[in-house]
Amino acid sequence: MKISIFAGVLLLSAAVISVDVLSVDGEETPVEKFKRQHIYQNMAPNRCQAVITERDIKDVKTNKCKEKNTFIDASYDKVKKVCGDEGEPIKIGNKILRISRENFNFRVVDCKCNENNYFPKCDCSGSSGNKRIVIDCDQNKNPDHYERSYPITIIMNEL
């Protein structure tokens, strides 16, 4: 009896966890898409082509390569802190987003690909640097969109 109760609790826990992974219709959630497209610990600039291919990062409507994709060299949990105390609001256009605080920077790898090519032959190259990231967060303070990054030398008044 104890085993069946434990199994039931375990199954219920797995069901609750899976809500974050996939939406009701089985599609990738914005949070999961953000993780797949932008979180990669120990990413190297010379791995852009391989990682973009492995993670199936492309324009899904046209099957063409994305012109640019940025990977954040950090854990998801660290990036998530920008949605809380380690970030501050920034207005870009008509949207209020979050920018990492001046002392909470990230190493990012910017991958540039040939947007005229069809996936997976994207001909990507990369560069890296320490930057402040700008992201959008959902109502639960989870990152769900990467907007851009700024070199850490830029003063907030210049933004």
Q: What is the pLDDT of residue 14?
A: 43
Please compute the mean of the pLDDT values over residues 4-8 and round it to a whole number.
47
The domains located in the chain, with CATH, are 23-158 (3.10.130.10)
Higher-pLDDT residue of 154, 40: 40
- pLDDT at position 24, please? 61
pLDDT at 20: 43
Average pLDDT, the chain: 87
pTM of the model: 0.81
pLDDT at 26: 77
Task: Return all residues near 70 (Cβ < 8 A) that are at least 6 apart.
Answer: 38, 108, 109, 110, 111, 146, 149
Name the residue among 65, 57, 91, 82 with its Cα closest to residue 132. Answer: 82
pLDDT tens digits for range 128-143: 999 999 999 999 999 9
- Judged against a pLDDT cut of 70, whether residue 122 lies above it is answered with yes
Nearest to 75 by CA among 40, 44, 51, 110: 40
Do 136 and 145 contact (CB within 8 A), yes or no?
A: yes
Residue 69 has pLDDT above 50, yes or no: yes
- Chain length of the chain: 159
9-64 pLDDT per residue, tens: 444 444 433 344 445 667 999 999 999 999 999 999 999 999 999 999 999 999 99
Compute the average pLDDT of residues 80-105: 96
Say which DSSP state 91 is in: E
pLDDT band, very low/low/confident/very high, at 145 (cuts 50, 70, 90): very high
Q: How far apart are CA 47 and CA 9, in angstroms?
A: 41
